[in-house]
A = this chain, B = another copy of it.
Amino acid sequence: MGADLSRKRTIVLASGVFDLLHYGHIKFLEEAKKAGGENAELVVIVARDSTVQKTKGKPPIMGECQRAALVESLKVVDRAVLGYLSFNIGDVIEKLKPNVIALGYDQDDVMNEVRNCIRMKNLNIKIVKIDKFGEVAHYSSSKIKQKIADKSSN
């Protein structure tokens, strides 16, 4: 039986860079959607290239449009949107009106920003932290990049 479409859907918001898609990303997004129950709609914010450059000190390997298109092509994802250039978490929350915000094990910096924003604006949004999936060696974009670099230098 499908989800009841007459019922308002529970919007779950997740975010990330999603450069070099790996199975850890899929598991993160699946767990995020589960946190919204059976009527969940998963909206994923894909970080802009300029935001990645600013926060990580280097641009991603794949451009923002390709990363967003890849994320939206996943079964678990209902909608992928590019991050807002201002990168103000309050604006994002007001625009997308999520019921649940899911954060990954490596998103503690975003967690604090989101918590402050929810408290200051007195919003009714549930925050869910998703545990790490499997061994970081296999499910981490930076570890995958390292593996590629090591192989090419041998």
Residue of B nearest to A26 (CB): B73
Proximity bits, A11-26, B CB within 8 Å = 1, else 0: 0000000001111001
Known contacts A63-B138, A75-B75, A138-B63; is-contact A70 B148 (Cβ 8 Å): no
Closest 10 CB pairs of A and B: A149-B152, A148-B148, A23-B66, A26-B73, A21-B21, A145-B148, A75-B75, A23-B69, A73-B74, A149-B149
A61 CB-CB contact with B under 8 Å: yes
* Of the residues B21, B63, B148, contact of A61 by C-beta under 8 Å: B148
Copies of this chain: 2
Q: Is A115 an interface residue (CB 8 A)?
A: no
A38 to B75, CA, bound (A): 18
Contact A21 B145, beta carbon cutoff 8 Å: no
Q: In the complex the two chains form, is A149's CB within 8 Å of B138's CB?
A: no
Q: What are 18 A-B pairs at a CB distance below 8 A?
A: A20-B20, A22-B62, A23-B69, A23-B70, A26-B70, A26-B73, A58-B151, A61-B148, A62-B138, A62-B144, A63-B138, A74-B74, A74-B75, A145-B148, A146-B152, A148-B149, A148-B152, A149-B153
